[in-house]
Amino acid sequence: MDGSGNSLLAGPEGRKKRVCYYYDSEVGNYYYGQGHPMKPHRIRMAHSLLVHYGLHQKMDVFAPTKAKERDLCLFHADDYVRFLKTVTPETQHEQIRQLKRFNVGEDCPVFDGLFPFCQTYAGGSLGGAVRLNQKMADIAINWAGGLHHAKKCEASGFCYVNDIVLAILELLKFHERVLYIDIDIHHGDGVEEAFYTTDRVMTVSFHKFGDYFPGTGDIRDVGFEKGKYYSLNVPLNDGIDDESYQCLFKPIISKVMEVFQPGAVVLQCGADSLSGDRLGCFNLSVKGHAECVRFMRSFNVPLLLVGGGGYTMRNVARCWCYETGVAVGVELEDKMPYNEYYEYFGPDYTLHVAPSNMENQNSLQYLQTIRERLLENLSRLQHVPSIQFSERPPDTEILDEDEEEMDVKGKIRIWDGEFYDSESEHAENLRSNHDLDANNVAALRRHTPELTEGQTTKRFKCNEEKGSNVSRNSHGIRA
Ligand SMILES: [Zn+2]
């Protein structure tokens, strides 16, 4: 690969990029449980595919160093992290109260190796952020990351720790402003909430809205206090296709780049917005989805790409493999090379599959209306906020919640509990075997310097009225 990052390529995509890529060979072994739609195996499938396309030769490939407990505690509550570290499938029944308190059990089950899994996917995103900060790469990729629903002291929507928030905190050590963009079909609620009151992070989420998990992400939610107009929500209906998606994405993001001028961008590439996703209802092709990556790459701003949702494994692998190709600047052949998981990609064995003929419930008028409204919000941003490294809002005291309140907590679930097994046989056979060899772990290269609390901007305490309407509607913000 070209290590200089300065060789100009002809064409609109500008400079050739130095790309670093984080992958842990154990990650595919973690297993959420029988019938659970979230399958870390998809990360291994994507990796296998991109290696067989030869893309690993065009990137710096790293095994992520596991994030330490104290790294995770820079966003998450200490007692929540300690719980994730100590809970086991065998002993979880002794901790019913804690399970409820931290929303662990249903969508977010306790499984073997849960904590090292969290450390691994968070370590990849943190490592990528550090490498971008050190100017050792132009683009960093961690497909195991992107778990955007996790909250400060609560698991949610298959997510336990929020690697994105941790990576953004790391980027904020070197950059005045960081932009977060989320193209998962679900609202990027955990990231939005973490930065809802700051003008140093702008969050932009494109998602299905209306009777859909997690229920937040209304176009009227724009941020609060200093963060007002620094959160942007793009609510979409079923069946959105490539053309409709890009007629929002490009003008909105162009305007964001112009008015916010971020020093770094994090793009969450959740693949459940693809056509045919088991939990999704959009109609994007891999090329339409990847157009977002291509577009962000063209701004020549340090870019962290993370994964996220994606529940039809063969399409997740297709998508993240193709997007890795976009990152390194290679157009991949449609005909797939043979790979370990070849049988998943039949009968066509091609990288691209046609979207469906489902109805696009986003009318032209609807798209125009929300585009104008969002551009108008952006025009209210008069200034590019400058750095305030010492700023830190006062912490709010936490009150322990009582169990009656927790029991009435009416949550929309990300998954209805129905079993999703048609694709899972392979994964089930590869069932959890992750006794990690301490020597291997020590041998992994560590790229994550210690995070210190003083270097972070925001550190919210847990919601004291958890389960009440107040905490859901106000994003947990305590001014
Ligand atoms: Zn999702």
- At residue 36, the pLDDT reads 98
How many whole angstroms from 279 Cα to the centroid of ligand 1? 8
135 C-alpha vs ligand 1 centroid, how far in Å?
30
pLDDT band, residue 478 (cuts 50/70/90): very low
**How far, in Å, CA of 323 to CA of 315, rounded?**
12
Distance 267 CA to ligand 1 centre (A): 14
Contact in structure between 307 and 44 (CB atoms under 8 Å): no
Q: Is 149 considered catalytic here?
A: yes
Strand partners, 8: 15
C-alpha–C-alpha distance, residues 468 and 464, integer Å: 9
Check if the beta carbon of residue 18 is closer than 8 Å to that of residue 139: yes
Whether residue 320 has pLDDT greater than 60: yes
How high is the pLDDT of residue 72? 98
Ligand 1 centroid–CA 206 distance in Å is 11
Banded pLDDT at 471 (limits 50, 70, 90)? very low
| Cα(444) to centroid(ligand 1), Å | 30
Q: How confident is the model at residue 188, as a pLDDT?
A: 98
**How many angstroms does the Cα of residue 310 sit away from the middle of ligand 1?**
7
- pLDDT value of position 24: 98
Q: What is the arithmetic mean of pLDDT over 30-41?
A: 98
* Per-residue pLDDT at 390: 53
| Per-residue pLDDT, 413 | 77
Of the candidates 151, 15, 135, the one whose C-alpha atom is nearest the C-alpha of residue 81 is: 151
Answer whether residue 132 shows pLDDT above 80: yes
What is the spatial distance between Cα 329 and Cα 17, in angstroms, rounded to a whole number?
8
Q: Residue type for 61, please?
A: V
Q: Tell me how far apart the alpha carbons of residues 145 and 63 are, in angstroms, rounded to a whole number.
A: 13
User: For residue 411, what pLDDT is reported?
Assistant: 58
- Residue 62 pairs in a beta bridge with 22
Q: What is the pLDDT of residues 391-447, one digit of tens each?
A: 433 332 323 333 333 333 455 778 777 655 544 434 333 333 322 222 222 222 222
For 177-199, the pLDDT digits (tens) are 999 999 999 999 999 999 999 99
Phi first, then psi, for residue 42 (nearest 5°) are -60, -30
Range picked from 1-10, 55-64, 462-471 for highest mean pLDDT: 55-64
Query: What separation in Å is there between the alpha carbon of 283 and the centre of ligand 1?
Result: 14
Residue with tokens 């200089």, as numbered in its chain:
4
Report the 10 Å Cβ neighbour count for 223.
Answer: 24
> 395 is written with which tokens?
């912490």
What is residue 285's predicted lDDT score, i.e. its pLDDT?
98
Long-range contacts of 395-399 (CB under 8 A, 24+ apart): 395/459, 395/460, 395/461, 396/460, 396/461, 396/464, 396/478, 397/461, 397/464, 398/461, 398/462, 398/464, 399/464
pLDDT at 12: 52
DSSP 274: B
466: helix, coil or strand?
coil
pLDDT by residue (tens digit) across 321-374?
999 999 999 999 999 999 999 999 999 999 999 999 999 999 999 999 999 999
Closest CA to 181 of 164, 200, 198, 156: 164
Q: How far is the CA of 202 from the centre of ligand 1 (A)?
A: 20
Structure tokens at 34: 């029988």
Instruction: Measure 213 CA to ligand 1 centroid, in angstroms.
Output: 9
Mean pLDDT of the region 82-94: 97
For ligand 1, a single-atom ion, the residues with CB < 5 A are 184, 186, 270, 272, 309
The pairing of beta strand 19-22 with beta strand 231-236? unpaired
* Model pTM score: 0.84
- What single letter denotes the amino acid at residue 380? R
CATH entry 3.30.930.10 includes domain 19-468: no
User: Residue for token digits 């309140």?
Assistant: 405
The pLDDT value given to residue 13: 58
pLDDT in tens, 213-241: 999 999 999 999 999 999 999 999 999 99
Distance 307 CA to ligand 1 centre (A): 10
pLDDT in tens, 259-282: 999 999 999 999 999 999 999 999
Which listed residue (149, 175, 187, 289) is catalytic?
Answer: 149
Closest of 186, 215, 240 to residue 37, by C-alpha: 186
Q: What percent of the chain has pLDDT over 90?
A: 76
- How many angstroms separate the CA atoms of 319 and 137, rounded? 22
Distance from C-alpha of 304 to C-alpha of 102, rounded to nearest angstrom: 28
Domains of the chain, residue spans: 19-468
DSSP string, 148-193: TT-BTTB-BTTBSS-HHHHHHHHHTTT-S-EEEEE-SSS--HHHHH
